[in-house]
């Protein structure tokens, strides 16, 4: 604990800066999650990959059923117990979405797929985004500390 306190004193970090840093970091995280979810909802990476697979299969003169099967496999449509479970989860999501006033026009199946896609994308991007979020948080908090120092110097000069 002594090393942390020494570092904070050396860098003029006060205890009041820590909750602010936490809020900034969480705001960045929520913003990135919402942006990723929105992008996945409107762009549909799984559908894009499925279409590309279907085109590749068609250009290689594969049968149309093979391309459609590839698209179904990528979109997560399964049979048996897994398919029933997926259908039940989609119905539960549809009920929740129907209750939210701003989401009445949202397709619940598409929203569920977008949620899964965004979680996968954010997980894959975590080695880049985690240090990026920390760096951005540090820059914002450092700017706040700099402004506080400038304010203190200006009040001392008066």
Phi-psi region of 110 (alpha: psi -120 to 50; beta: other; left: phi over 0): alpha
How is the chain split into domains, by residue range?
7-11+13-157
Q: Which is more confidently placed, 26 or 57?
A: 26
Inter-CA distances, 158 with 144, 145, 146, 147, Å: 21, 20, 19, 17
For the stretch 40-75, pLDDT in tens is: 888 877 777 777 777 776 666 544 454 444 445 445
Tokens of 153: 């110097």
For the stretch 83-124, pLDDT in tens is: 677 677 767 777 777 777 766 677 777 888 888 888 899 999
Cβ neighbour number for residue 141 with a 10 Å cutoff:
19
This prediction has a pTM of 0.63
User: According to the model, what pLDDT value does residue 100 have?
Assistant: 74
What does the mean pLDDT of the chain come to? Answer: 78
Residue 13 has pLDDT above 60, yes or no: yes
Task: Report yes or no: 24 and 141 within 8 Å, Cβ to Cβ.
Answer: yes
Percent pLDDT > 90 in the chain is 22
User: According to the model, what pLDDT value does residue 70 have?
Assistant: 43
109: nearest Cα among 128, 87, 124: 87
Rounded (10°) angle between helices 108-157 and 45-59 = 130
Tokens of 7: 């570092």
Residue 22 has pLDDT above 90, yes or no: yes
């Amino acid at each position: 604990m002594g090393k942390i306190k020494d570092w904070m004193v050396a860098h003029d970090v006060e205890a009041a800066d820590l909750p602010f840093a936490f809020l900034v970091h969480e705001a960045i995280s929520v913003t990135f999650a919402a942006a990723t979810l929105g992008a996945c909802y409107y762009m549909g990476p799984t559908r894009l990959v499925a279409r590309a697979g279907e085109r590749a299969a068609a250009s290689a003169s594969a049968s149309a059923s093979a391309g459609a099967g590839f698209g179904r496999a990528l979109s997560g449509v399964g049979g048996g117990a897994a398919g029933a479970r997926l259908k039940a989860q989609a119905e539960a999501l549809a009920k929740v979405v129907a209750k939210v006033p701003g989401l009445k026009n949202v397709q619940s199946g598409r929203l569920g797929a977008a949620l899964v896609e965004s979680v996968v994308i954010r997980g894959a991007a975590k080695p880049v985004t985690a240090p990026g979020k920390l760096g951005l948080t540090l820059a914002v908090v450092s700017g706040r500390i700099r402004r506080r120092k400038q304010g203190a110097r200006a009040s001392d000069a008066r």
